[in-house]
Amino acid sequence: MSLFADAWYYLTDTANWGGSAGIEHRLLQHLWYSFLAVALSAVIAVPLGLVIGHTRRGSAVLVGFANAMRALPTLGLLTFLVLLLGLGLIPPLLALITVGIPPLLAGAYAGIANVPADVVDASRAMGMTERQILFRVELPNAMPVLLGGLRGATLQVVATATIAAYVNLGGLGRYIFDGIGLYRYDLVLVGALLVAALALVLDGVLAVAVWASAPGTGRLARGSIVDTEALRVAAR
């Protein structure tokens, strides 16, 4: 029990929250690394998933690519990138991108591909262009699944971003690696608890976003979204 008591004492001591090595600063560093990794992953994965989901071409290649990225050992990849590129922010970011891309890619593709075919056909019958169909019909209906992919990617990146400390960067992983090096397992527990708490908070926020984005509920403003029920009626 002393391990948990020591971790609790460390967390509740206000002296451990301030300064460049404090919990607040390392929490912000962890959030920054995670945000960069998820944003870069989204820039790569979401457009690719949208295009493949809309055209229905290349899905087999997409599945193989996503599975291959999931199979990559993140720490081993980080070590290789450090040897190749040297220390700095780039190697851990590239390693984290391999974690963030698969859920985002799968979410974007599955969301678009699962939009009812009669809705898409009705959109074309009304004279909408492929671009309009993608952004005004398919994307709004796919938003819950796409945000579900973002939710999964965020959780995995936040949990894996501790590896930044492996290459002498900051973040919450600093507590884990420093604790192991100093045989301070209460610090290891502190790092693990903080990462878990951060992941739970972000998961809750994104869960609300998924709930709010459900089409047809009126939970979000839909000024530019075509009513899918109207499209179904027009197709009859």
* Residues of the chain above pLDDT 90, percent: 54
Using CA atoms, how far residue 43 sits from 13, 49, 82, 122, in Å, is 40, 11, 23, 30
Question: Percent of the chain scored above 70 by pLDDT?
Answer: 91
Cα 157–139–124 angle (5° rounding)?
A: 155
The CATH superfamily label for domain 2-235 reads MetI-like (1.10.3720.10)
The mean predicted confidence, pLDDT, of the chain is: 87
Mean pLDDT score, 95-111? 93
The DSSP annotation for 174-208 comes to HHHHHHHHHT-HHHHHHHHHHHHHHHHHHHHHHHH
Query: What tens digit of pLDDT does each residue of 123-132 get?
Result: 888 888 888 8
pLDDT of the residue at 232: 52
pLDDT band at 1 (very low <50, low <70, confident <90, very high): low
Query: Does the structure show a pLDDT above 90 at 148?
Result: yes
**pLDDT for res 228:** 54
Question: Mean pLDDT throughout 95-109?
Answer: 93
Res 223 pLDDT > 50: no
Query: In the numeric block, which tokens belong to residue 82?
Result: 């450090």
Residue with tokens 């192991």: 180
Integer Cα distance of 110 and 104 in angstroms: 10
Q: List, for residues 40-56, the tens digit of each pLDDT value.
A: 999 999 999 999 988 88
Does residue 85 carry a pLDDT above 80? yes
Mean local confidence (pLDDT), 1-26: 89
- Which pLDDT belongs to residue 75? 86
Each as own residue / partner, the long-range contacts of residues 223-229 (CB below 8 Å, 24 or more positions apart, any chain) are 224/136, 225/136, 225/137, 225/140, 226/123, 226/128, 226/136, 226/137, 226/140, 228/116, 228/119, 228/137, 228/141
Q: 217: which residues sit within 8 A by CB, 6+ positions away?
A: none
Task: Provide the 10 A C-beta neighbour count for residue 85.
Answer: 11
The sign of the CA dihedral 138, 151, 93, 16 is positive
Each domain of the chain, given as residue ranges in start order, spans 2-235
- Output the pLDDT for position 227: 52
